[in-house]
């Protein structure tokens, strides 16, 4: 099964279509420092920086640490970045694909269908010997109208049911899934019935996604097959978006994201913890 070119793009292929593509730099680290500093030091020509926390997610709270953004706020951000309905978008990050996948998912959820992730991110672009600039572009305003619903979303109750009726994948590291450690959230453990498949297992050593056939085999090992409903969650919906991207590459286009993830699940003490 070949890698789907409508989901990810190699650096060399992007270079040949750069002038006709809106490129978004979403470099981000959970514990900092801010990705904007990386952008200022050098980025792809024409790329516009978006902050994952401030621009592509709502404020943290009962909906989790990285909830869905307000559609109106997101539309203003994307239009200011030059995102247009009829123009393809490519997003990139520091190389592991996690924030880029969440940006990909958010734009797809917002109704933009032509969005891809730069496989291997900024390091892959540099390794290919392609140009980098510190010049900040001034894009013409975009025209994208945000229409939520372009990607399947799980609410907390739906995630809990899916763990029993289909396959709900907890993509965090195994010690977090088992509740042995919890470095971020105040409660350790996982959603009862969820299976563990860390998203790091979907990556090659250089940060690129594994081949589609390999991904499909790995998902099959935890019960994901054609006709089986599948969803993914993590700590706050960032890492799990990467697993949703991998599921799409593996042919499971209906894979759903529990956006609130563990950080929302534990806000209700009546929700069970395993």
Intrachain domains 8-127 and 156-265 with the same fold: yes
CATH 3.40.250.10 is held by the domain 8-127? yes
Q: What is the pLDDT of residues 50-85, one digit of tens each?
A: 999 999 999 999 999 999 999 999 999 999 999 999
Q: Which CATH superfamily hosts domain 156-265? A: Rhodanese-like domain (3.40.250.10)
Is-contact 247 105, C-beta < 8 A?
A: no
Is 1's pLDDT higher than 70?
no
Query: Which residue(s) pair with 127 in the sheet?
Result: none
Burial class from Cβ neighbours inside 10 Å (0-12, 13-18, 19+) for residue 214 reads middle
Helix H or strand E segment including 8: strand 8-9
Is 3's pLDDT higher than 70?
no
* Backbone torsions φ then ψ of 203, nearest 5 degrees: -110, 145
Tokens representing 177 are 């899934």
Q: Which residues are catalytic?
A: 234
Q: What is the pLDDT of residues 166-200, one digit of tens each?
A: 999 999 999 999 999 999 999 999 999 999 999 99
Tokens representing 153 are 């979303």
pLDDT at 30: 87
pTM (two decimals): 0.96
- Rounded CA separation 91/49 (Å): 10
- In the chain, % of residues over pLDDT 90: 95
- Rounded CA separation 29/93 (Å): 10
Mean pLDDT along residues 19-47: 95
- Determine which of 5-9, 178-182, 222-226, 236-240 has the lowest per-residue pLDDT on average: 5-9
pLDDT at 12: 97
- Rounded CA separation 2/176 (Å): 33
Is 2's pLDDT higher than 80?
no
Q: Please, what is the average pLDDT of the chain?
A: 96
Query: Which residue(s) pair with 231 in the sheet?
Result: 168, 256
Q: What is the pLDDT of residues 203-230, one digit of tens each?
A: 998 889 999 999 999 999 999 999 999 9
Q: What is the pLDDT of residues 128-143, one digit of tens each?
A: 999 999 999 999 999 9
| Residue spans per domain, the chain | 8-127, 156-265
- Rounded CA separation 24/93 (Å): 9
Is the sign of the CA dihedral 37, 31, 215, 231 positive or negative?
negative
């Amino acid at each position: 099964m070949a890698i789907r070119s409508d989901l990810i793009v190699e650096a060399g292929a992007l270079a040949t279509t750069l002038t006709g593509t809106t490129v978004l730099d979403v470099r981000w680290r959970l514990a900092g420092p801010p990705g904007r500093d990386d952008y200022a030091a050098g980025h792809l020509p024409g790329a516009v920086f978006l902050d994952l926390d401030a621009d592509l997610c709502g404020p943290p709270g009962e909906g989790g640490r990285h909830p869905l953004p307000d559609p109106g706020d997101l539309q203003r951000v994307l239009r200011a970045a030059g995102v247009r309905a009829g123009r393809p978008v490519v997003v990139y990050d520091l190389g592991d694909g996690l924030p880029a996948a969440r940006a990909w998912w958010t734009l797809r959820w917002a109704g933009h269908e032509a969005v891809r992730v730069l496989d291997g991110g900024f390091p892959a672009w540099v390794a290919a010997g392609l140009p980098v600039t510190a010049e900040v572009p001034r894009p013409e305003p975009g025209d994208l109208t945000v229409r939520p619903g372009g990607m399947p979303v799980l609410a907390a109750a739906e995630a809990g049911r899916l763990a029993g009726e289909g396959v709900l994948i907890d993509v965090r590291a195994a010690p977090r899934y088992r509740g042995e450690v919890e470095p971020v959230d105040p409660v350790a453990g996982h959603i009862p019935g969820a299976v563990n498949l860390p998203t790091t297992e979907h990556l090659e050593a250089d940060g690129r996604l594994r081949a589609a056939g390999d991904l499909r085999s790995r998902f099959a090992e935890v019960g994901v097959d054609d006709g089986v409903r599948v969803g993914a969650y993590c700590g706050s919906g960032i890492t799990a978006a990467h697993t949703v991207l991998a599921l799409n590459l593996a042919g499971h286009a209906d894979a759903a994201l529990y956006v609130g993830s563990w950080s929302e699940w534990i806000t209700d003490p009546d929700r069970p913890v395993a």
